[in-house]
Structure 1
Amino acid sequence: MSSQLSRRTLLAGVGVLGLAACSNEGRGGPTGGSGNAAGVRPAYQRYTGVKPDFAGAEYNIPDAFNRYPADPVQAITQPPGDGRPISITTYTNTPIPPKLEQNRFWQELNRRVGSPVTVSLTPSVDYNQKFATVVAGDRLSDIFMVGAVPQVPQLLGAKAADLTAHLSGDNIKKYPYLANLPETAWNNCIYGNKIYGVPIPRGAISSQALYSRADLLEKQGLNAGIKSADDFIELCKQLTDKRRNRFALATSPTQYVRNMFDMPNNWREDGSTLVHYYEHESHEAAFEVLRKLWSAGYVHPDAFSGQNQDMKVRFGSGTSALVQDTFSGWPSYLQTAVDKDARIGIIAPPKHDGSGTGKIWLGAPAIGFVAINKKAESRVETLLAYLNFLAAPFGTQEYLFRKFGLPGLHHQVVDGNPVLTQKGFSEVQLGLMYQADGPWTIFLPEKAGNAEAEFNAMKQTCPTALADPAAGLYSETNVRKGPQLNEDMTQLTNDIIQGRKPVSAWAGAVKKWKSGGGDKIAEEFAQALEASR
């Protein structure tokens, strides 16, 4: 390993790094590579083995299914394993599952893989610290989720197997379900014209939107078709009844209001340079809207404290009829709904002045990537075959097992669909979706009609969503300084909304952000963007 990649260097960067949590997921991987991705990018080969009820490709959104195929195809004919153990280090956002001895799902997974699988799981919020410690101690598993630590390109060159010969161009077709991963997701894995990993794809499903309890709005005779910021404030007023402990918004709708003002998704291109949304001219106007919502009491008083799960409980109980979250959170909102007749809707952002429809921010193509330990280079084909097994798509026997386990034990078939049992939910949480995964599919067997509802909501909002031009690119300054810089801006944002700081404080903070590293981050991302073309 490079002498610059010392234990002190790795651990020093972690204190300011943290995983950016969304409804279901943290982000363990760093922003991706800066090499010429177009030169080595794996060929894309879409899986067409199952016909969706609602096809999403035209709209750049996931396919949706009302039912799981009654006779799912077998995607993998030979176990991918070689009989030797396969070790994995990754993170999780669910409770740690029972140990192998008490876990029937894990035992069956080992049988189907053809190798005993050992998994070291860490809660996502703690993963960067754990990853840095493991790297510094030279204790990486065969397959590992790459955490956000300094000098990722150097780390990969020293510790990860070069997968270029196996995955570039048509070579990837030996692993057809890895070839089914979206092309842009591979940006995360390419450094210096070499492929160092396999991405965990997400894309549009990780875009944030404003959820509504459509049933509660309907009971009050309220129209969700708002046309302006003033309409939104009025809707929130009508949904708030403090005497009954009801507040329109479970959390501050900060990003939703920014969407009303056409702020870019992190960055926008200005010629050969990149400009951050912090520098957008409409921040003061957006803050005025957010301050009105807070000062009027339309936002839950605990919105800036507590855990991520709290906002789901508020929404599910009807305490708050509106909440901002990612589309991937839809299943969890179904599960937390107390009223069996609860209906979920999405309210698209209007332009603040009533001049049209605002644009949401498109989710990043990948949430991270896994690499293969250079010490396991002699087993690269076996380990890629294992990841290919985990990426088997919706409609296959492998996907059904991976997500729902064994019938009668881990899931029951209800109206033709698999629904996890309590034992199933406990045992299947092996972090498999943070080792490898197929493209996200909208499948909501918990309640009929919701797959179509979510699909239509995404169809309405995602085709015009703003992409982040720097998504999947790497900036060393961003890894080292970005988390603390962004935390400072987030804290100021919250202080301004709650009236602890004046709106005028924003301009000075932006100047400090720029001089403290923001301008350097913009420069590095611009260079990486140019190199990727």
Structure 2
Amino acid sequence: MTPNSLSASSRSSRRTFLANSGLAALVVAGGAPLLSACGGSGSKNEGTTTGKKLKDLLPAYAASSLASPDIPAKNGSAAGFTKALPASALKVSVPQKLGRGGEFTVMAPIWGNVPKQGNPYWTAMDKAAGVRVKWQNQQGDTYGQKLGAVLASSGVPDAVVVPGWELTGKIPSAIANKFADLGPYLSGDKVKEYPNLAAIPTGAWQRSIFGGKLRGLPMPSATTPNIAPFYRTDLFEKEGLEAPTSAQEFYDLCKQLNAPKSKVWACGDMSWAAWNIFGVLPEKPYYWKLVDGKLVNRYETDEYLEALEWSRKLYSAGFVHPDAKAETGSIGDLCAAGKVWMYCQDLSDWYGKAAVQRVDNKKFRMEAFDYFAADGGAPTLYARPPADIWTFISEKADEKTVHDILALANYTAAPYGSKEQRLRMYGVEGVHHTFEDGVLTKNGKGNNEVFSTYEYLASPAPFVAYPDLPDVTEGMVEWQQRQGAHTKKPLFHGMMIIEPTRYTELNAEFEDLEKDIVRGRKKVADMQQAAADWKSGGGDKLRDWYKKLLDETGATGDSAS
């Protein structure tokens, strides 16, 4: 699913490993240290960590000054780089090899074919960092199943990548029980042994605290929306059309564009975009808002039901491509082929489609239109977490192994404009890529070997850098910045919250029910019933748990009222 050529800025959302990264600095919430205060007889790992205890756990921040972006970060966006430097002009961010030559295993998701062990890319990376990695790659589509099985066993690899959307069931508890406390290596000034890790923004580290300990190595992410509503700008301009500015305009535009007899459909599934158009609260643990002193959950809001109904109408009117209903194929590829006019996907798809299509069609242009409120005007968007993917180190790893993994993470977290970043993103010059006339180009070997693996160990402050398509870099970052102007923090923003295990399956059926409703297999009334069942089945007790957490942390956010 993930194009092999995606850069470090490509991240994930929910069940796909795609999300564009970026970060807004996070103010640490005050209040007393809190772990088990919200759970009665609950686990010691429940709740969150705040106050002085949180401050003592966080690594000291020291920003990198290696390179200045062409487009500085703003409103929670990533920074943008539109130019590439020749290898001779790149700076060094890791002057001394920190790895001690140890070998360790890393379990990580992958989409596509796994490169052969001992390939030139992995070999060069290991040699540069001074380590030897034995990758245990698992296909991304079934990664959650593999992850659960591994964490339930006694054979946990030395390092394990865990995406935030897999923090369900018993996995959060397993993280707190099976992975090492990195505080003795990274908290406070200790992180200065690893300068690139010290340059990771504080908010990302706050999200890396599980069970009262600093356990995760984070991939920082933008706090602006990562799901973008794409449209074929070139085709719109050819037909004299403009992007929609309200939910009704979108529907009317679909009616105008839809032509199933010609094998052309107006759109793909727009449910993810609908959450933003209708101002729906995020997913857990940020799925609460305060109304008249009472916590109201995402599933209880009118906005949630309205978004489902709007998405459902697009399907019932026949505007959505049949592959979307069947959840097969790639709607993005159909859009690129002119068979779909609009679709939503991770922001990184902007580059992925442009890079492929412009090889044969220089006029190809795909962009993302700005979000709007359902009735027009400025939308209500909620900030994303400052990190949502981590690597954890097994508690059974010895001190030498921990140091070697941190050495590699320090290497992979090198900023744009460094020799380390160039190797990590593009491989070996002459083997995996070429640099001609200021343009970096991966060759076939580069596309088959150099893709998402090493950056999962840790990544720098988020950036977008596509020097081969500078207009795409500019478009992506400026889109983030425009959406960021309408983004506010939900309650508990930036906190890593572990719900009591007795509630971990409480929300398990909502995602499948959402799909059934928008596809016409269920009714919106079924969601209202599910919300009522959620309340009586533990939702009200979970609300009380969160209210106590809110009172003790004072984490009001921008959405409180």
Q: TM-score range by the shorter chain?
A: 0.7 to 0.9
Instruction: Give CA-to-partner distance per residue, 1:39-68, whole Å, 9 cap, x none.
Output: 422222221210111101x32111111112
Partner of 1:393: 415
Q: Residues 498 and 153 of structure 1: is their aligned pair in 2 closer, same or farther, counting only changes over 3 Å?
A: closer
1:295 partner amino acid: S
> Is the contact between residue 265 and residue 467 of structure 1 (CA under 8 Å) also seen in structure 2?
no
2:103 to 73, 85, 95: 85
Q: Residues 360 and 208 of structure 1: is their aligned pair in 2 closer, same or farther, counting only changes over 3 Å?
A: farther
Partner of 1:304: 325
Partner of 1:320: 340
Q: Residues 317 and 181 of structure 1: is their aligned pair in 2 closer, same or farther, counting only changes over 3 Å?
A: same
What SS does structure 1 have at the residue aligned with 2:198? Answer: coil
2:316 to 295, 314, 332: 295
Partner of 2:459: 437
Q: CA deviation at 1:24?
A: 2.7
Percent identity, aligned pairs only?
28
Q: Which moved more, 1:170-179 or 1:495-504?
A: 495-504
1:116 to 106, 120, 132: 132
Partner of 2:498: 474
Q: Residues 297 and 444 of structure 1: is their aligned pair in 2 closer, same or farther, counting only changes over 3 Å?
A: same
2:122 to 106, 109, 118: 106
> Is the contact between residue 228 and residue 273 of structure 2 (CA under 8 Å) also seen in structure 1?
yes
- Alignment map for 1:326-475 (pairs within 5 Å): 326-337=346-357, 339-354=361-376, 356-379=377-400, 380-429=402-451, 431-470=453-492, 472-475=496-499
Q: Distance in 2 between matches of 1:153 and 1:87?
A: 21
Q: Residues 161 and 240 of structure 1: is their aligned pair in 2 closer, same or farther, counting only changes over 3 Å?
A: same
Q: CA deviation at 1:340?
A: 3.3
Q: Residues 469 and 171 of structure 1: is their aligned pair in 2 closer, same or farther, counting only changes over 3 Å?
A: farther
Any stretches of 5+ residues in structure 2 without a counterpart? 1-12, 21-44, 556-561
Q: Residues 289 and 161 of structure 1: is their aligned pair in 2 closer, same or farther, counting only changes over 3 Å?
A: closer
What SS does structure 2 have at the residue aligned with 1:46? Answer: coil
1:229 to 247, 255, 258: 247
Instruction: Give CA-to-partner distance per residue, 1:252-285, whole Å, 9 cap, x none.
Output: 2123233333222232331776432211123444
> Is the contact between residue 231 and residue 367 of structure 2 (CA under 8 Å) also seen in structure 1?
yes
Q: Distance in 2 between matches of 1:430 and 1:346?
A: 24
Tell me, yes or no, if structure 1 residue 203 matches structure 2 residue 227: no
Partner of 2:69: 52
2:337 partner amino acid: S
2:133 partner amino acid: V
1:265 partner amino acid: P
Q: CA deviation at 1:221?
A: 0.4
Q: Distance in 2 between matches of 1:39 and 1:523?
A: 29
Q: Residues 133 and 265 of structure 1: is their aligned pair in 2 closer, same or farther, counting only changes over 3 Å?
A: closer
Q: Residues 466 and 23 of structure 1: is their aligned pair in 2 closer, same or farther, counting only changes over 3 Å?
A: farther
Q: Distance in 2 between matches of 1:121 and 1:144?
A: 10
Q: CA deviation at 1:352?
A: 2.0
- CA RMSD in angstroms, aligned pairs only: 2.8
Partner of 2:521: 500
Q: Distance in 1 between matches of 2:19 and 2:274?
A: 23
Partner of 2:191: 172
Partner of 2:300: 279
Instruction: Give CA-to-partner distance per residue, 1:157-178, whole Å, 9 cap, x none.
Output: 5432221122222322222211
Q: Residues 41 and 519 of structure 1: is their aligned pair in 2 closer, same or farther, counting only changes over 3 Å?
A: farther
Q: Residues 113 and 475 of structure 1: is their aligned pair in 2 closer, same or farther, counting only changes over 3 Å?
A: same
Q: CA deviation at 1:310?
A: 0.8
2:344 partner amino acid: Q
Tell me, yes or no, if structure 1 residue 258 matches structure 2 residue 252: no
Q: Distance in 1 between matches of 2:213 and 2:503?
A: 20
Q: Distance in 2 between matches of 1:136 and 1:230?
A: 48
What SS does structure 2 have at the residue aligned with 1:371? Answer: strand
> What is the TM-score when the length of structure 2 is the normalising length?
0.82
Q: CA deviation at 1:423?
A: 0.5
Tell me, yes or no, if structure 1 residue 137 matches structure 2 residue 153: yes
1:269 to 289, 301, 310: 289
Alignment length, in residue pairs?
501
Q: Residues 215 and 423 of structure 1: is their aligned pair in 2 closer, same or farther, counting only changes over 3 Å?
A: same
> Is the contact between residue 161 and residue 372 of structure 1 (CA under 8 Å) also seen in structure 2?
yes
Q: Residues 532 and 477 of structure 1: is their aligned pair in 2 closer, same or farther, counting only changes over 3 Å?
A: farther
1:243 partner amino acid: K
Any stretches of 5+ residues in structure 1 without a counterpart? 1-18
Q: CA deviation at 1:442?
A: 0.9
1:97 to 110, 115, 124: 115
What SS does structure 1 have at the residue aligned with 2:266? Answer: coil
> Is the contact between residue 295 and residue 547 of structure 2 (CA under 8 Å) also seen in structure 1?
yes
